[in-house]
Structure 1
Amino acid sequence: MDKFDVEDPLTSLDGHQSDTISALFSSESDHMPSYNYFQCLKTSDFYVSFRQEAISLILQAQYSSNLDPYTQYLAVNYMDRFISWQEIPQGNPWIVRLLVIACISLAAKMKEIHFSFSDFQRDEGFMFDPPAIQRMELLVLDALNWRMRSITPFSFITFFVSLFQLKDPPLTQALKDRATNIIFQARNEINLLEFKPSIIGASALLLACHELFPLQFPSFETSVLSCEYVNEVSKFSSINCI
């Protein structure tokens, strides 16, 4: 299996670039949590607390296991999708920890980077044996229908930037970097779970454009909103939490 690139998850697809882009947009809904999950988070304190604790543990892996932000984002994606399709029993606080380590492990495997169960668990003050972790990984894989090459907001950054036809590579990279940081900063926001990855990616990019190139922003906005693949134009203005 080719090494998974969270910024370009369809690199292994054959065919023309237009076919790849079309496949990216048509497949993104398969890599989102269910709509019922978003509604549940709006009404259930348990699921809000569960998700907050899970994300906090995943982010701690940056320090205990030296995981990069993309791997962490992928683990959060797996966690959200799993919870959206699998009911979580209350009264078992260990479940969130086992789920987190399974999601991080799967994300690390997809990224082909080293992740130490023992180092992470020792620093976080809990311990599960490898068979228990592997069983949880299988539960996650089953709930996600083995769709591990996740389509995330990062997957659309390069495509949308190409619409701007920027001529200066350093400015292009600065724009990508700022949009990426905005997406990372907004990963805890529950309201974003309602939107497709392409909408989040485009919104982050437009915000980055507004910050870095305010004079060119109107033309950038027109380029994105006139894109043939964007069919949720009205939602751009409603994503206030980015």
Structure 2
Amino acid sequence: MEFEYDLETPLPTSDTLFFIETDHMPSKSFLEETDLRVSVRRETISLVLYFSQNFDHFLSYLAINYLDRFLSTQCILEGKPWISRLLAISCVSLALKMRKTVFSVTDIQNDEGFIFDSQTIERMELLILGALKWRMHSISPFSFFHFFISSFKFKDQPSRQALKDRATEIILKAQNDIKLLEFKPSIISASALLSAAHELFPLQFGSFRNAICSCSYVNKNNLLNCYNLMQEIAMDGYESVLDMGSSSCTPVNVLDLQCSSSSSSTVVADHGQ
């Protein structure tokens, strides 16, 4: 397979991104499943991170997106650890192919545990491709960075880049949390940017919040819920910097989402969060 793909620019227009982003999410039933799938997901994510450790974080993010979408439509047998290993290797392999990275399936397996030949991995790849309906140009939170950041009134590029970098860190850190799977990529993107803005540019937070709330694609209730969760994730490990005990700094009080009540800020897509 020959692909070329960038997580930030999978499609040429923002309108198209918002229209089809739900096609690149796990099924809603995935969040209602038993602890078995949660356990399989946790184990397989650990393997994905292990097999992709020599590549950048965006590679593992893409592989985990494939994994979540696959697990939400397929039944994985319990008690067969080799299946999780094969699934993880295949998701990493597909992500590497999408990003046109030169690699060897032998090298990424690190010569440990079960070693799968290329034919076995290719068969699993085809199973994954079928389950994902060959939609491999995943729409991710990173895909919406340019759209949202362009509405912020930055005076200099370094500030813009700092916000983007911090939001990226938050998203990468948050991916393992299964609760985030209920939110659209655009909502995750907006929430991460707001969380980063509150941390880096507190004086401008209100204007950033209003800019995002004025977007007709953004559901404010979902933004609030996702932002609260994102704040918890962002604060984790930063206790020495943020006063976790201050009631005035809780996620709900910080955002409050007192956006304009105009109709432009309340449009909700019919097909999801």
TM-score, structure 2 normalization: 0.81
Question: Does structure 2 retain, via aligned residues, the 8 Å contact 1:209–1:220?
Answer: yes
Question: Does structure 1 retain, via aligned residues, the 8 Å contact 2:67–2:91?
Answer: yes
Partner Cα distance (1:206, 1:9) in 2: 23
Q: Residues 52-201 of structure 1 correspond to what in structure 2 (within 5 A)?
A: 52-63=42-53, 66-201=54-189
1:45 shift after superposition: 2.0
Task: Tell me which residue corresponds to 1:38.
Answer: 31
1:124 shift after superposition: 4.1
Tell me which protein shows more helix as a share of its residues.
1
Q: Pick from 40, 62, 67 the counterpart of residue 50 of structure 1.
A: 40
RMSD: 1.3
The higher relative CO (CA closer than 8 Å, separation ≥ 6) is in 1
Identify unmatched segments of 5+ residues in structure 1: 12-19
Instruction: Tell me how many residue pairs correspond in the alignment.
Output: 228
Question: Does structure 1 retain, via aligned residues, the 8 Å contact 2:51–2:89?
Answer: no
Partner Cα distance (1:217, 1:50) in 2: 39
Task: Tell me which residue corresponds to 1:234.
Answer: 221
Partner Cα distance (2:3, 2:121) in 1: 24
The secondary structure found in structure 2 opposite 1:52 is: helix
Larger CA Rg, structure 1 vs 2: 2
**Which aligned segments of 4 or more residues in structure 1 are displaced greater than 6 angstroms?**
none
TM-score, structure 1 normalization: 0.91
Partner Cα distance (1:150, 1:115) in 2: 21
Is 1:24 aligned with 2:17?
Answer: yes
Identity across matched positions, percent: 56
- Which residue type is aligned with residue 131 of structure 2? A
Partner Cα distance (2:69, 2:37) in 1: 13
Partner Cα distance (2:87, 2:134) in 1: 16
Task: Tell me which residue corresponds to 1:3.
Answer: 4
Partner Cα distance (1:82, 1:49) in 2: 15
Identify unmatched segments of 5+ residues in structure 2: 231-273
1:228 shift after superposition: 1.8
